[in-house]
Structures are given as structure tokens and as C-alpha cells.
Chain A
């Protein structure tokens, strides 16, 4: 399956621009961003703080509508300027997985339930969802924390639960904003490898915002952002390494 899909576009943005505020407080956080991520690809997004990485990621994640420009997921146009072309809530639930910088778990659920709910919302029977949630937590090495409340988990553990939830619905787009910041390098690498596997097995397109220069070797492409503008690092552009 992965082989057939490789090469087709997973995520494509065209002249994506985001302006926050207006008048005196106007901030152009992103200007004419053009990015293409193919199915099976894992790309990195680098850049200094305030350069617009999160703005880009949340736009592509369909939670922060762009001021202008287009977003295509697969071959479907989903955002045309600030106008949604599909039901965003449904699209997010079925197609997109997120891991964000700071912990983003539902506080009144325990670790296992946080993963399970993503699948149940997508219509998976409770029993199957529970089984799969435990499986995913196992892969991320936090199976023994499955029944712990969110507040009982360390930052690294919370991040791994968030990764498990992002992977739960086998998304076609996986977006991660500094997912390894709270993890030690061994775990960080392990998470990156999981991302790779999702890309390969499901033909997902993966974008990871990172500061960690040491892990750049696992990416198929590296984009760099500066003052709201995105450019690819030429050396790293090429066909997906693992397909």
C-alpha cells in the first residue's frame, strides 16, 4: 500500500498567508508559504522562535484559518483563504493527528482514555478502541501509566500519550510541534521512528517542527522558516528515503 501511494501529494499549501490583528497591531506571521509533502514523507520545519512555525502548522492542521492562500490535503482543496471547503471537525477527526509543544491532554481522563476517546469519536467500538489504546501506549513505553490521571504523569510521559493519541486514528496527516522537547534523546529518536513508521505504513505526510539539529538525518526534507517566509533547504530535497 505504502509503495503505491508514495509520491502522491499528502499536504500542499499555496501562497499561504496569515495576518494577525489589524491596523497598528497587525502582524504578518506567515507570508506566501508554499510547501509540498508527499505521502510517506517526513519533513522537518526549522526556524527561530516567532518565525511563524506554529502559525503554519495550525493552519495546515485546520485550526487556524489562513488569511489567504490554499490548503490541499490529499488531492482535496480544504481551505480557500479563510473559507473551509469541508467539515473541518470531521476532517480533523478522521485525517489529522496532532502533537503540540505543550501538553495537550484532556485533564479529566486518564492516559488510556485520552487515546481511546480519539478512536471512539471516530466510531470505533469502545472495546476495540481500548485494546488499541493500550497497544499504542505499550509501543511508546507508557503502558504502565495507562490508568494514571494526566496530572500524575511527567512531561515526557504526557507527551508520549499525546503522540499515541495522534497516531490512534492512523491519520493521513501528522503534525507535531516540537514533540521531542520534553523527551530525552533516546525517547526522542524513538518517537521520530514511530513517525517514520506511520508515514511508511499508512502513507501519511508528516511535518515536525524541531530545534534538534541532531535528529535532522531522519527527515526526507527540511524546510526553514524566517520572518514568516518558508524555504526548503536545498541539500535535503529529494525522494523519500524509506519508500
Chain B
């Protein structure tokens, strides 16, 4: 006969309600761990998906995701010549915010180096990858754009040809993908007046720059968009992504490129670490604090209910001692109740969570590691919370039954 179960049967309502409460608290604790996992996954997803071995970025910057990085276009060619490099590609990434259907729409725009990269690696759930060099766009589901929808960005109109899922930038904004060309056009889109002023300024610079004095032909090309100018371009790429040859010495390549003076180099892990430190670390600490607090609250509630359940049956416990029940029976009775409460609460948290988490605005990722960790925490707080009741129960004298 299990005394713990028998007593719960006698206090079913109270026990059920408490289990529900504990379960919901634990669900939030579980969800918070999942939200953090989601943050990390979202943050590193892009880096993982792009799968570059090395990231070449502007000197002393921390790469395209953490801050603004600008490298010149010809860097791609320089990097390609380094021994051990298999391919080097342009990488353009920036976030824009536009009005769409009367609401602000934030898009993290990633340029694909067409035609080598059409975006076949994207997790498409509808449509197709980029099919032409301009005016096509693949958008993430989270942006709320529909297949075939036309979107005016800058002076041009883009057609949504594909929809991805789960492609979010570190900031949690939905991503869109165009060719590098389009991405730059969108990025450097400026009002006509600004363009006119910029051209005039260039002419001015041309008058004084030695280059133009020696090669007057150059000044004829001044009217081209800034990104197409060979000698005086605005550095136009965010980064260059490098794939190494198999068996290439990553360290060596890294050191060589880093020695150039205008570049910094990160490995994939390095890039991930940067992302996590910079953007996710505070969130992690914040969520961690909430989790600790909620766990504490759960423990206090458990302690309280176990204690009152124990007080309510103190007479019966004294009686059990009177008829010779050893302490381990009484300890077991209370401990089992606490563990049952914790265990059922955990199960409830898990089943509820599985149903509710998909509706959370940010991604919730339940990692086995976190689930196991929480399970251990629940066992610990169950034991700790039963201590108060156990002490009370072990103190009660068997002959107290006969008094009063």
C-alpha cells in the first residue's frame, strides 16, 4: 500500500490544483530556456547555413552581423588568389525598414552572389530560388509577404518568387534574399537630388585629385552609380565569404589575409562566438534571472503545499509512529508526495509547452540538454521543498495522538 498515493487521493482537489500551478510555472521556466535556445539558433542560423569557412571583413570590425562592415569589391579577387582558398564570394547584408500595407516592415536583406549562388540552399516552403539577375526576391514567411507579390524597394519593383521558413536575422527580423546587385541598389538607393549633389561633389574632387589629372578619361565615368566606379568606389560589400580547399591550412590562410592591413578574418566559430557575445549574452542573462526566480517561486509553492499537507496529517503520522512505522516510511510518504508533485508538474509543463510554444512570437527550441537540466532541478527542489514537512513530521511524538 502506498501511503503517499492514499493521502493524495484524500486531498485530490488541493493536490491537482497545486500540480496545475507548478506545471504552468515550470512550463514558463522551460519556455524561457527554449526562447534562449531559439535566440542562439536564430543568431547563428545564417552563419551556419551560409557555411563559410572564413569571413573576411573590414579591419577591426566584428563582421556584417554585429556592426557595419565595408570592404571593397576587388577584395573578392584578392582573396581568390590566396593558396588554399577554393572560392571567395561577395556578401552583402543590411537591414532596411519600409512601409508595407501601412505597417512598418523590417527586412534583413542578404545579397546572393548571382549566378554562382541562386539561393538553392535556402529552406524554401513555396516557390523557387532566384531565377534571374535582377528584380526577384525570396522572402521569409515571417515577413508576411505572399508568393507573386510585388514589392517596391527604392526605385524598382521586386517580385516575391520564393518563401523560406525560419530565416531570421540576429535581431529577429525576417530575411529576404536578392542578388548582390539588387541588394546594393536597394542599399544605396538615394533620392535624385542626393545623387545630383553627389555627382557635383565628385566633379569637385576630380578637379583636385591627381588620378584624374593624369587620366582625364576617368572623369567621364563619374556619372556612373557609385558602386560601379573602379577607382573611387564606396566600399560596397559587407564581407567576403571564403570556402577553403579540403586539407587547406585554415590558420595559414587566415593569417595571410589578416596581414593585409584592411581586413580582419573570422572563422565560422569565431563569427558565431561574436554574435552570441554581442547580441545574445544580455538576453541570456536576463532570461536566466527570470528562470531562477520562477524556479524559486515553484520551490516555495511546493514547500508550502507539502508543509500544509503534512500539517493536516500530523495526527495520522503520530499514529503511524505509534503503531511502529519506522521513520523511513514517514520520510518516504512526504518525499514521494513532493517528487510526485514535481514530476507531474514537469510532465504537465512539457505537454502544455509542446502545444503552446509554437504560438510564441519568438522561436522556442526545446533542447534535450535543457529538458534534462530542468528535470534535475525539479528533483532537487522537490527534495528541498519537502524538508520543512519532513522535519515537522519527524518531530511529532507518537503519544501526541492521545492528548487533547
Interface residues of A (CB under 8 A from B): 54, 58, 63-64, 89-94, 96, 98, 100-102, 104-109, 113, 116-118, 120-122, 126, 129, 149, 165
6 A-B pairs whose Cβ atoms sit less than 8 Å apart in the complex: A90-B324, A93-B325, A98-B322, A100-B402, A104-B322, A109-B3
Known interface pairs A89-B321, A107-B313; A117-B3 also in contact (CB < 8 Å): yes
Contact check, A92 vs B322: say whether CB atoms are below 8 A apart.
yes
Known interface pairs A93-B324, A93-B325, A100-B402; A108-B319 also in contact (CB < 8 Å): no
Q: Which of B6, B320, B323, B402 contacts A113 (CB 8 A)?
A: B6
Contact check, A107 vs B325: say whether CB atoms are below 8 A apart.
no
A213 to chain B, nearest CB (A): 24
Q: How far is the CA of A129 from the CA of B319 in the complex (A)?
A: 19
Chain B residues with Cβ under 8 A from A106's Cβ? 316, 319-320
Q: How far is the CA of A102 from the CA of B315 in the complex (A)?
A: 13
Closest to B397 in A: A63
Chain B residues with Cβ under 8 A from A116's Cβ? 1
Known interface pairs A58-B402, A89-B324, A121-B325; A108-B1 also in contact (CB < 8 Å): no
Chain B residues with Cβ under 8 A from A113's Cβ? 1, 6
Contact check, B326 vs A90: say whether CB atoms are below 8 A apart.
yes
Contact check, B324 vs A121: say whether CB atoms are below 8 A apart.
yes
Chain B residues with Cβ under 8 A from A101's Cβ? 402
Number of chain B residues whose Cβ lies closer than 8 Å to a Cβ of chain A: 24
Q: How far is the CA of A93 from the CA of B327 in the complex (A)?
A: 13
Interface of B is mostly: helix
Q: How many A-B contacts at CB < 8 Å in the complex? A: 75
Among B297-323, those with CB < 8 Å from A are 313, 315-316, 319-323
Known interface pairs A64-B399, A121-B325, A126-B1; A104-B319 also in contact (CB < 8 Å): yes
Q: How far is the CA of A64 from the CA of B3 in the complex (A)?
A: 26
A176 to chain B, nearest CB (A): 13
| Additional pairs, 11, CB under 8 Å, beyond known A91-B324, A104-B319 | A63-B322, A89-B324, A89-B326, A93-B323, A102-B402, A104-B402, A108-B6, A108-B7, A108-B9, A108-B10, A121-B320
> B370-404 toward A: CB 8 Å interface, digit per residue (1/0)?
00000000000000000000000000001101100
A18 to chain B, nearest CB (A): 12
Q: Which of B1, B316, B321 contacts A107 (CB 8 A)?
A: B316
> B56-84 toward A: CB 8 Å interface, digit per residue (1/0)?
00000000000000000000000000000
> B6-41 toward A: CB 8 Å interface, digit per residue (1/0)?
110111000000000000000000000000000000
Q: How far is the CA of A113 from the CA of B322 in the complex (A)?
A: 16
Contact check, A120 vs B1: say whether CB atoms are below 8 A apart.
yes
A52 to chain B, nearest CB (A): 14
Contact check, A100 vs B401: say whether CB atoms are below 8 A apart.
yes
B240 to chain A, nearest CB (A): 73
Chain A residues with Cβ under 8 A from B9's Cβ? 108
Q: How far is the CA of A96 from the CA of B324 in the complex (A)?
A: 9
Q: How far is the CA of A100 from the CA of B3 in the complex (A)?
A: 23
Q: Count chain A CB atoms within 10 A of each CB in B1, B7, B320, B329 and give the residue with the most.
A: B1
Contact check, B321 vs A58: say whether CB atoms are below 8 A apart.
no
- Name the 8 nearest CB pairs between A and B, nearest first: A93-B324, A108-B10, A92-B324, A106-B316, A63-B399, A108-B7, A63-B398, A64-B399
A66 to chain B, nearest CB (A): 13
Closest to A109 in B: B6
Closest to A166 in B: B323
Contact check, A92 vs B323: say whether CB atoms are below 8 A apart.
yes
Q: Which of A54, A64, A108, A118 contacts B323 (CB 8 A)?
A: A118
A50 to chain B, nearest CB (A): 14
Q: Count chain A CB atoms within 10 A of each CB in B11, B323, B399 and give the residue with the most.
A: B323
B331 to chain A, nearest CB (A): 13
Q: How far is the CA of A105 from the CA of B318 in the complex (A)?
A: 11
Q: How far is the CA of A43 from the CA of B10 in the complex (A)?
A: 39
Contact check, A165 vs B323: say whether CB atoms are below 8 A apart.
yes
Q: How far is the CA of A89 from the CA of B316 in the complex (A)?
A: 16
Contact check, A54 vs B402: say whether CB atoms are below 8 A apart.
yes
A118 to chain B, nearest CB (A): 5
Closest to B329 in A: A121
Q: How far is the CA of A96 from the CA of B398 in the complex (A)?
A: 14
